[in-house]
Amino acid sequence: MSESKDFLRTIVEEDLKSGKYNEVHTRFPPEPNGFPHIGHAKSICINFGIAEDYHGHCNLRMDDTDPTKEDTKYVEALKDAVEWLGFDWGNHVYYTSDYFPRLYDYAVELIKMGKAYVDSLNEEEIREYRGTVTEPGRRSKYADRTIEENLDLFERMKKGEFKDGEHVLRAKIDMSAANMKMRDPLLYRIRNVHHYRAGDTWHVYPMYDFAHCLSDYMEGITHSICTLEFENNRDIYDWVLNTLGLNSTRPYQHEFARLGINYTVMSKRKLLELVEGGQVDGWDDPRMPTIAGYKRRGYTPESILNFCDTIGIAKANSMVDVAQLEFCIRDDLNTKVPRVLCVLDPLKVRIENYEGSEEIDAPYYPHDVPKEGSRKLPFSKEIYIERDDFMENPPKDYYRLTPEQPVRLRHAYIITCKEVIKDANGNIVEIKAEYHPDSKSGSDSSGIKVKSAIQWVDAKTAKSIEVRLYDRLFSSEAPEGLEDLNPNSLQVINNALIEPAVITEKPDERFQFERQGYFYADPIDYSDEHPVFNKIVGLKDSWSKKAKVIKSEPKPQTKKVQVDGEIAPMSEAEEARFNKYTIELKLNSEVANTLARDEKLFHFYEEALLTLNSPISIANIVANEVARELKEKQIDELKFTATQIAQLVKMVDDETISNKIAKQVFEEMIESGENPTQIVEAKGLIQISDPAIISPIIDEVIAKNPDNVAKFKAGNSKLLGFFVGQVLKSTGGKANPQVVNELVAKKLK
């Protein structure tokens, strides 16, 4: 868990602390209609993670209420994903389909309560009757059916007496609800099809909104965590549970923003399209953002977990940079995997002054990775280096081999280029070089300075391998469809050369090919005869970045244009009040505006004025503090009165208390409805303005914070607030802040 809590954990902690629940119980409720992707990983981490953190439970539940889309292969993929990520769902996987009988009973109960009815409008009519976001809907004539009729119909729906779409069961809520979801939502529809688990027993299937809340309830879920698009569904969630009277210990829904990653599509529909259209090689194609894809690509569960942890949980729609994910996998693999030498695009180098062969002992791990292990690196006259590690006419910053610049062969000798052999077309086909016998790695006495060490393989002993180089699937940052596909997302190299130990000793399944990236022995296509490696992710590469930077153009600066809308005009009465407030009572226009436009506020204000003639002070507190309370409440719901507010203001006016204390007192009044004078008296909140009392406190604060004093004196004037705050804190807020301010400023000058 990171040091700052996310809002969900904050809620859970509060609920536990308040005793609302004794134990947290979450659930991860995917629909088995596709392979889980990294967005599901986020949800898995949240639900299982919270359960783990607070010693509760998390159920894995297949939300399988739509028989036309779901399949066993997807439930297997879901289970694999959760398991691979390292979470434990206990010994039971839950299925909404297991609740079909109980769900049916609940539906019958709703019908008996007169809260649900069988509607026989067709699909199009239902849509029409629903109205639009701005116009209310109207209720179907079938809503008047008697309970008996509804019961009979629903039972016959269940028995399969009707065709698909002939009838539906709907909740009787409100066809003119502002929340469209509440306009008599569908509870059950007829589906005369086979369900992958329930078989052919059912002809009616519950809808999400009906099944989900009840499933949560039946499993004893406390926190039903879902994504933002279900915010509107929360009202139904609560309606169903409340209407059925299921409110002893019951779950509540909380929503978070789903994960978005740039250069990636995350909708199951689009992912399915890619699979079915053959743009990728299945759900586990290493370019897919599916868990199966990442797994096949070579990502580790730890890296995904860590990614989910670093991106945070919030309610703002956001788009995470893929670089963040790539960082996580590099960071994980860096300390774990052996380094080996592999040449992807071989260029032959003939070392003219070397005869025979030898085996060089080379550690698998660099000095900064505390792991043991080494292998023998065969070396002889003929080797291969990476083609782009040699340049005939290099730019100034080029550190590798050139006709003038020697280079070290990693773990081996320094070589110098003697001759460049080209074919008829001018392509370099071979380098003739010389090695420096006294430059061997570990016992170098040559004194030659090189700028870099490059990877190489011995020609005779190197193994040929297939390497699959993956790049992002989409070239657009926010891909829409197939037109945004990156045509070069897969590059297959059939004859890369790798040092033999990787194949013969198999020290690991993941490797860093030095200076290139991290690679993974493909779990499916790899064989000893034909080794295949997937590129997981490249190393950070400040060279290719530098080389590219020349052609990158300065990005066009788009300044946000702020459009100011028109302010709604005032009614005549409002304007009259506004004028009275500004002219007669001398309120500033903003406060006058707030008061004049709000029915509740001006009533409250004018009533307070009756007790105390201090129009400006009262206006300020009413427009700023009371307004907050009156946002969601009526005046008669408040525990405090206008008269009490006037009393409070009076104490501020005559400087008995400071504004700061007034706010504190006001908070008390909201809770208890006690008189402000009593609160002040009981708590001894009378303001301290005597410099003789305040001064020593300031001295103490100054003595305790020498660093900040220095910073302040160096010109950081913001720190004044810090000192004032400290003094106020140690006086329980009672010190007169104005006096403190002046004194602090004087003392620190």
In angstroms, give the least distance from the CB of 568 to RNA: 5
**Residue 27 within binding range of RNA, rule CB under 7 A:** no
**Residue 383 within binding range of RNA, rule CB under 7 A:** no
In angstroms, give the least distance from the CB of 1 to RNA: 12
Q: Are 333 and 370 in contact (CB under 8 A)?
A: no
Considering only residues 31, 216, 332, 499, which one is a binding residue for RNA as defined by CB under 7 A? 31
**Binding range to RNA, per CB under 7 A, among 348-356, 468-476, 495-503, 589-597:** 589-597
Q: Which of 250, 223, 256, 255 is nearest to 238 (CA)?
A: 250
**Residue 415 within binding range of RNA, rule CB under 7 A:** no
Q: Which two tokens stand for residue 363?
A: 């550690």
Considering only residues 79, 660, 683, 747, which one is a binding residue for RNA as defined by CB under 7 A? 660
In angstroms, give the least distance from the CB of 438 to RNA: 11
**Residue 4 within binding range of RNA, rule CB under 7 A:** yes
**Binding range to RNA, per CB under 7 A, among 47-55, 283-291, 692-700, 720-728:** 720-728
Q: Give 297's contacts (C-beta < 8 A, 6+ positions apart).
A: 286, 287, 470, 520, 534, 536
Residues 79, 115, 130, 258: which is the catalytic one? Answer: 258
Interface with RNA in residues 435-494 (CB under 7 A):
440-442, 444, 452-454
* HSE (side-chain half, CA atoms, 13 Å) at 387: 8
**Residue 730 within binding range of RNA, rule CB under 7 A:** no
Distance CA 626, CA 605 (A): 9
Q: What is the number of other CB atoms lying within 10 angstroms of the CB of residue 96?
A: 24
Interface with RNA in residues 221-260 (CB under 7 A):
228-233, 257
**Residue 263 within binding range of RNA, rule CB under 7 A:** no
**Binding range to RNA, per CB under 7 A, among 19-27, 64-72, 279-287, 692-700:** 64-72
**Residue 635 within binding range of RNA, rule CB under 7 A:** no
**Residue 142 within binding range of RNA, rule CB under 7 A:** no
Q: Which residues pair with 529 in a beta bridge?
A: none
* Cα 70 to the center of its chain, rounded Å: 27
Residues 31, 70, 219, 255: which is the catalytic one? Answer: 31
Q: Which two tokens stand for residue 726?
A: 């400290």
**Residue 404 within binding range of RNA, rule CB under 7 A:** no
Tell me if residue 268 is catalytic.
Answer: yes
**Residue 586 within binding range of RNA, rule CB under 7 A:** no
**Residue 737 within binding range of RNA, rule CB under 7 A:** yes
Which of 108/627 has CB closer to RNA? 627
602 phi, psi to nearest 5 deg: -75, -30
- Residue reference for tokens 């399949």: 71
747 phi, psi to nearest 5 deg: -65, -30
Tell me if residue 358 is catalytic.
Answer: no
In angstroms, give the least distance from the CB of 186 to RNA: 5
**Binding range to RNA, per CB under 7 A, among 81-89, 98-106, 560-568, 570-578:** 560-568
Instruction: Tell me the H-state helices in 18-122.
Output: 38-53, 72-84, 100-112
**Residue 654 within binding range of RNA, rule CB under 7 A:** no
Distance CA 428, CA 387 (A): 9
DSSP 33: S
492 phi, psi to nearest 5 deg: -100, 125
Show the beta-strand stretches assigned E in 387-516.
407-409, 414-422, 428-435, 453-454, 456-458, 463-470, 490-498, 510-513
Which of 68/247 has CB closer to RNA? 68
Q: Which of 249, 313, 448 is nearest to 10 (CA)?
A: 313
Considering only residues 14, 88, 105, 123, which one is a binding residue for RNA as defined by CB under 7 A? 123
Residues 268, 296, 440, 734: which is the catalytic one? Answer: 268
- Residue reference for tokens 């700052």: 4
**Residue 624 within binding range of RNA, rule CB under 7 A:** yes
Measured in residues, the chain has a length of: 749
**Residue 572 within binding range of RNA, rule CB under 7 A:** no
**Residue 524 within binding range of RNA, rule CB under 7 A:** no
Q: What is the number of other CB atoms lying within 10 angstroms of the CB of residue 97?
A: 22
Q: How far is CA 407 from CA 418, 451, 605, 612, in A?
A: 12, 7, 84, 89
Q: Long-range contacts for 277-280 (Cβ within 8 Å, ≥24 apart)?
A: 277/482, 279/482, 279/485, 280/473
**Residue 99 within binding range of RNA, rule CB under 7 A:** no
Q: Which of 128, 78, 111 is nearest to 210 (CA)?
A: 111
Any idea what the Cα angle at residue 411 is, between residues 407 and 414, rounded to 5°? 25
Considering only residues 25, 49, 58, 63, which one is a binding residue for RNA as defined by CB under 7 A? 63
Which of 202/285 has CB closer to RNA? 202
**Residue 372 within binding range of RNA, rule CB under 7 A:** no
In angstroms, give the least distance from the CB of 512 to RNA: 6
**Residue 505 within binding range of RNA, rule CB under 7 A:** no
**Residue 593 within binding range of RNA, rule CB under 7 A:** yes
**Residue 566 within binding range of RNA, rule CB under 7 A:** yes
Show the beta-strand stretches assigned E in 638-696.
none
Interface with RNA in residues 334-363 (CB under 7 A):
334, 339
Which of 204/244 has CB closer to RNA? 204
In angstroms, give the least distance from the CB of 525 to RNA: 26
**Residue 13 within binding range of RNA, rule CB under 7 A:** no
Which of 302/514 has CB closer to RNA? 514
Instruction: Tell me the H-state helices in 100-207.
Output: 100-112, 123-129, 147-159
What number of chain residues touch RNA (CB under 7 A)? 134
Interface with RNA in residues 168-227 (CB under 7 A):
168, 178-181, 186, 189-190, 205, 207-209, 212
Show the beta-strand stretches assigned E in 140-248.
168-171, 186-190, 204-206, 223-227
Considering only residues 11, 108, 266, 369, which one is a binding residue for RNA as defined by CB under 7 A? 369
**Residue 304 within binding range of RNA, rule CB under 7 A:** no
Distance CA 745, CA 721 (A): 10
Tell me if residue 632 is catalytic.
Answer: no
In angstroms, give the least distance from the CB of 741 to RNA: 5
Three-state SS for 441?
Answer: coil
Which of 285/623 has CB closer to RNA? 623
Considering only residues 324, 488, 495, 504, which one is a binding residue for RNA as defined by CB under 7 A? 324
Q: Are 65 and 99 in contact (CB under 8 A)?
A: no
**Residue 69 within binding range of RNA, rule CB under 7 A:** yes
Active site residues: 31, 258, 268
